[in-house]
């Protein structure tokens, strides 16, 4: 297993990259026959044999690698169709275009990751997920691997307001088309309801303290090879 880890000015900058380096060292220490390797690179596409590596870095880094060597570009997951229900969202959600924005909404691109995500009344031409606004007290990131909840970390708001874990597990169970590894962001609203914010494929996503060294390398590698195979 070989990882190509992004550096910026020859330095590792992302929390998931630091955690992955520690995880590789842990596995190599724990198992004498283990050979997890990682290489550092400012540029993801100046390598000789692309099939040897799993790219780890920001969205631009990983997307550039996938586009050049596999002609693939991951699209936003946002809120998957199986979870667009008020039981999970606590609000109205619509997949549409800029023409479907009616009043002030939270608008996020369905076309491109990190292209457009704003509270607004108007947006550039494109396909969007359009959401009613809600009052949020706390936000948490759930980590899911092979349909199991394996971590849950606070990343915004009040850290002492805990989400409904059983509801998160029910969301995971209801997400039938889920990738092998992903994150599920949830919020606790001002009326103490746990609701989904969005889903991310397991790449280029902040860990916020999640560092399960036993499974982290496999979450990255399983998602990567599964994405290539399925697309």
51 and 118 part of one domain: no
- Report the Cα 202 to chain-centroid distance in Å: 5
What confidence tens digit (pLDDT) does each residue in 9-60 have? 999 999 999 999 999 999 999 888 888 999 999 999 877 655 679 999 999 9
Does residue 210 lie within any of the structural domains?
A: no
144 and 194 part of one domain: yes
Tokens linked to 220: 């990255």
Could you give the CA distance from residue 190 to residue 217 in angstroms, rounded to a whole number?
36
Which residue has better confidence, 47 or 159?
159
Number of structural domains the chain divides into: 3
What's the pLDDT at 219?
A: 98
16 and 125 part of one domain: no
84 and 102 part of one domain: no
86 and 183 part of one domain: yes
140 and 50 part of one domain: no
Give the domain range for residue 109: 92-133
What's the pLDDT at 6?
A: 96
Does residue 37 lie within any of the structural domains?
A: yes
Query: In Å, how far are 76, 139, 152, 153, 212 from 160, measured between CA atoms?
Result: 30, 11, 13, 11, 22
The answer to whether residues 12 and 40 touch, using CB atoms and an 8 Å cutoff, is yes
9 and 38 part of one domain: yes
Tokens linked to 75: 């699209």
When pLDDT is cut at 50, 70 and 90, the band that residue 228 belongs to is: very high
149 and 184 part of one domain: yes
pLDDT (average), residues 205-220 = 96
What confidence tens digit (pLDDT) does each residue in 58-101 have? 999 999 999 999 999 999 999 999 999 999 999 999 999 999 99
């Amino acid at each position: 297993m070989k990882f190509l880890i992004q550096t910026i000015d020859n330095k590792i900058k992302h929390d998931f990259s630091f955690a992955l380096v520690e995880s590789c060292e842990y596995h190599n220490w724990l198992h004498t026959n283990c050979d997890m390797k990682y290489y550092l690179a400012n540029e993801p596409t100046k390598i000789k044999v692309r099939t040897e590596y799993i790219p780890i870095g920001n969205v631009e880094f990983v997307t550039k690698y996938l586009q050049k060597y596999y002609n693939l570009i991951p699209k936003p997951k946002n809120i998957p169709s199986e979870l667009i229900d008020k039981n999970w969202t606590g609000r109205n959600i619509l997949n549409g275009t800029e023409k479907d924005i009616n009043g002030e909404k939270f608008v996020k691109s369905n076309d491109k990751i990190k292209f457009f995500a704003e509270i607004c009344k108007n947006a550039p031409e494109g396909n969007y997920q359009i959401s009613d606004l809600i009052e949020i007290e706390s936000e948490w990131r759930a980590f899911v691997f092979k349909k199991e909840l394996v971590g849950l970390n606070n990343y915004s708001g009040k850290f002492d307001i805990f989400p409904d874990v059983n509801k998160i597990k029910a969301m995971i169970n209801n997400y039938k088309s889920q990738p092998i590894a992903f994150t599920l962001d949830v919020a606790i609203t001002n009326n103490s309801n746990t609701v989904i914010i969005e889903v991310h494929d397991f790449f280029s996503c902040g860990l916020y303290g999640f560092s399960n060294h036993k499974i982290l390398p496999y979450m990255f590698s399983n998602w990567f090879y599964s994405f290539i195979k399925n697309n």
